[in-house]
């Protein structure tokens, strides 16, 4: 159970904040709500008061009948300053929906209403779930404001793409699903004490692109879904997560440090920089094995050619390079996309050749699993076991992989030495 302060700003999505608050109270959290004056145009205080069982504050100089206490807590004997006491008690402050105006105020430190003053006084983690018209969301001013908040450590729950409130409009800007927002909040709240608390997990995801000329590249079909699922699961288990994403267009999970790369060489550089400090490496990216020996700065024209031969040169094997530098206590997991019979045996050969703790083998000869599919079915190969994970969502497969990593870390002699030293 946590004390969650929810800030509701003005937008049609304010009605979805009711669902968020309902889900959060239903999950056993003590929730208080502050609203901006504009949000009252969309949802009245009585709705949130009914769901939380606590007064809702809007104005900065308004008396709080609960004196800053959260449901279930005794009210203090004195009468504290409302916005200061509410944030002092909060384990987390979630602004949902965050309008473009409120986002701008949060980014620039304005404190012209109760919600923004509370945010400025708040030392608990801040989660922001934007919702607005797609043009407002894509405006450079909003993008910059989000970047400022993100750089300051706020967690942004990206809006969905789809039908927007104004008639006939579609695009990005719909408030994320309230269940997903709550999951993000619980992920952050659960960090301390989670099974991976204190671990740094480095995940690579997506597929590299190797330039042929200024517009074309040699690439692969990886969407990054498996790596994103691993990063999200590890963050929810309390790990500090660095995600090196190669050309991934899907949104990164909340609470992870994202480094975007394009080529195998950039991926090598980014993972190498983060690896020294990592406890676990999950190498889910599909890294090009070869790149054009020469990438032209201009676009190759077809005129005057009856064909084009590309000369390719090998790229460095990132995983093998990192494995060669591994320190005691690090757990390294590779992925092997294999075709048909003998897949597990080839995966085991990779485990040995690259010096890994586990290889996750998936059989890409099957259409329903693997590249760009929402589901996966894998075999986790370790030095002494093979564990088949039945067909399921990439989230559930990610959970099984992290279970295997946790098992490896509790049983490996390296890990116990490291624990013994602490
Ligand atoms: N990998 C890597 N750097 C590369 C190529 C692959 O780090 N240049 C990593 C992948 O991220 C994955 C694993 O190595 O974790 C895959 O092993 P690999 O032997 O490269 O698989 P394939 O590319 O399928 O190799 P092969 O053609 O030998 O089957």
Q: What is the pLDDT of residues 252-290, one digit of tens each?
A: 887 788 999 999 999 999 999 999 999 999 999 999 999
pLDDT at position 152 is: 84
384 pLDDT above the threshold of 50: yes
Contact 328, 414 (CB under 8 A): yes
Closest ligand 1 atom to 316 CA: 8
Strands, DSSP E only, in 289-382? 290-292, 312-314, 331-338, 358-363, 375-382
pLDDT at position 164 is: 77
Q: Would you say domain 3-189 falls under CATH 3.30.930.10?
A: no
What does the chain come to in residues?
422
pLDDT at position 370 is: 66
Closest ligand 1 atom to 350 CA: 19
pLDDT at position 252 is: 85
pLDDT at position 2 is: 84
Report CA(262)–ligand 1 centroid distance (Å).
17
Q: What is the pLDDT of residues 192-250, one digit of tens each?
A: 667 898 899 999 999 999 999 999 999 999 999 999 999 988 987 889 999 999 999 98
pLDDT at position 215 is: 96
Report CA(285)–ligand 1 centroid distance (Å).
9
Other CB atoms within 10 A of residue 134 CB: 17
Task: Report the alpha-carbon distance of residue 267 to residue 276 in Å, rounded.
Answer: 15
Q: Region 68-93: what's the mean pLDDT?
A: 85
In this prediction, residue 415 has a pLDDT band, given cuts at 50, 70 and 90, of very low
Average pLDDT score, the chain: 91
Closest ligand 1 atom to 320 CA: 7
414 pLDDT above the threshold of 80: no
pLDDT at position 153 is: 85
Pocket test for ligand 1, best of 218, 261, 317, 356 (most atoms within 8 A of CB): 317
Contact 66, 75 (CB under 8 A): yes
In this prediction, residue 191 has a pLDDT band, given cuts at 50, 70 and 90, of low
Domains 3-189 and 196-411 share a fold: yes
Phi and psi at 161, nearest 5°, equal -105, 140
Closest ligand 1 atom to 264 CA: 8
Q: Give the residue among 119, 135, 99 at the shortest CA–CA distance from 13.
A: 99
349 pLDDT above the threshold of 50: yes
Q: Region 315-341: what's the mean pLDDT?
A: 95
**Burial profile 25-51: b = 16 or more Cβ within 10 angstroms, e = fewer:** beeebbbbbbbbebbeebbebebbeeb
CA 232-396-370 angle, to 5 degrees, is: 95
Higher pLDDT, 2 or 185: 185
Q: What is the pLDDT of residues 2-11, one digit of tens each?
A: 899 999 999 9
Q: Region 314-326: what's the mean pLDDT?
A: 97
Nearest CA to ligand 1 atom 27: 289
With a pLDDT cut of 90, the percent of the chain lying above it is 71
- Which homologous superfamily is 196-411 in? CoaB-like (3.40.50.10300)
Higher pLDDT, 284 or 74: 284
Q: Region 289-317: what's the mean pLDDT?
A: 95
pLDDT at position 168 is: 79
Report CA(333)–ligand 1 centroid distance (Å).
12
With a pLDDT cut of 70, the percent of the chain lying above it is 96
Pocket test for ligand 1, best of 283, 331, 332, 356 (most atoms within 8 A of CB): 283
Closest ligand 1 atom to 346 CA: 29
CA 346-360-319 angle, to 5 degrees, is: 80
Report CA(354)–ligand 1 centroid distance (Å).
10
Nearest CA to ligand 1 atom 8: 317
Report CA(363)–ligand 1 centroid distance (Å).
14
pLDDT at position 151 is: 85
Ligand 1 interacting residues, C-beta cut-off 6 A: 264, 283, 285, 287, 289, 315, 317-319, 334-337, 350
Specify the pairing of strand 331-338 against strand 385-393: unpaired
**Burial profile 239-268: b = 16 or more Cβ within 10 angstroms, e = fewer:** bbbbbbbbbbeeebbbbbebbebbbbbbbb
422 pLDDT above the threshold of 80: no
Q: Region 307-321: what's the mean pLDDT?
A: 97
Which secondary structure element, helix H or strand E, spans residue 19, and what is its range?
helix 14-26
Closest ligand 1 atom to 321 CA: 7
Q: Where are the domains of the chain?
A: 3-189, 196-411
190 pLDDT above the threshold of 80: no
Q: What is the pLDDT of residues 114-168, one digit of tens each?
A: 999 999 999 888 999 999 999 999 999 999 999 999 888 899 999 998 887 777 7
Pocket test for ligand 1, best of 350, 365, 378 (most atoms within 8 A of CB): 350
pLDDT at position 193 is: 66
pLDDT at position 95 is: 98
**Among 133, 145, 220, 247, the one annotated catalytic:** 220
pLDDT at position 333 is: 98
Nearest CA to ligand 1 atom 18: 336
Report CA(346)–ligand 1 centroid distance (Å).
12
Contact 414, 329 (CB under 8 A): yes
Nearest CA to ligand 1 atom 16: 336
In this prediction, residue 372 has a pLDDT band, given cuts at 50, 70 and 90, of confident
Is 113 labeled as catalytic in the residue annotation? no
Higher pLDDT, 78 or 1: 78
Q: Region 392-412: what's the mean pLDDT?
A: 90
Report CA(338)–ligand 1 centroid distance (Å).
10
**Burial profile 217-228: b = 16 or more Cβ within 10 angstroms, e = fewer:** bbbbebbbbbbb
């Amino acid at each position: 159970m946590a004390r969650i302060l929810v800030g509701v700003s003005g937008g049609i999505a304010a009605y979805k904040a009711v669902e968020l608050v309902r889900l959060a109270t239903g999950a056993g959290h003590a929730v208080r709500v502050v609203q901006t004056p504009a949000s009252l145009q969309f949802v009245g205080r009585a709705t949130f008061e009914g769901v939380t069982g606590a007064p809702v504050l809007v104005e900065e100089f308004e008396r709080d009948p609960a004196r800053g206490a959260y449901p279930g807590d005794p009210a203090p004997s004195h009468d504290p300053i409302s916005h200061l006491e509410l944030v002092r008690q909060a384990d987390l402050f979630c602004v949902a929906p965050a309008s473009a105006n409120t986002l701008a105020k949060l980014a620039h430190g304005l404190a012209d209403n109760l919600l923004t003053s509370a945010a400025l006084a708040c030392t608990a983690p801040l989660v922001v779930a934007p919702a607005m018209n797609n043009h407002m969301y894509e405006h450079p001013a909003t993008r910059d404001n989000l970047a400022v908040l993100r750089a300051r450590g706020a967690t942004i729950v990206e809006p969905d793409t789809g039908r927007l409130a104004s008639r006939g409009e579609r695009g990005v800007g719909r408030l994320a699903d309230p269940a997903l927002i709550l999951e993000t909040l619980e992920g952050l709240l659960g960090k301390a004490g989670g099974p991976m608390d204190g671990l740094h997990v480095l995940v690579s995801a997506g597929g590299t692109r190797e330039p042929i000329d200024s517009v074309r590249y040699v690439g692969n079909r990886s969407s990054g879904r498996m790596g994103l699922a691993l990063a999200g699961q590890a963050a929810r288990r309390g790990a500090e997560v660095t995600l090196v994403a190669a050309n991934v267009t899907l949104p990164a999970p909340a609470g992870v440090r994202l480094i975007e790369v394009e080529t195998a060489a950039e991926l090598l550089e980014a993972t190498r920089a983060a690896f020294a400090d990592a406890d676990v490496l999950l190498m889910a990216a599909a890294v090009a094995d070869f790149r054009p020996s020469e990438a032209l700065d201009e676009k190759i024209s077809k005129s005057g050619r009856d064909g084009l031969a590309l000369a390719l040169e090998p790229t460095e094997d990132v995983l093998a390079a990192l494995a060669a530098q591994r320190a005691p206590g690090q757990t390294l997991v590779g992925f092997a996309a294999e075709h048909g019979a003998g897949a597990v045996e080839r995966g085991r050969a990779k485990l040995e050749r690259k010096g890994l703790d586990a290889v996750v083998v998936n059989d890409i000869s099957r259409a329903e699993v693997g590249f760009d599919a929402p589901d996966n079915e894998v075999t986790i190969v370790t030095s002494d076991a093979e564990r088949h994970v039945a067909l399921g969502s990439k989230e559930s497969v990610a959970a099984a992989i992290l279970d295997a990593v946790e098992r490896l870390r509790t049983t490996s002699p390296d890990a116990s030495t490291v624990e013994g030293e602490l």
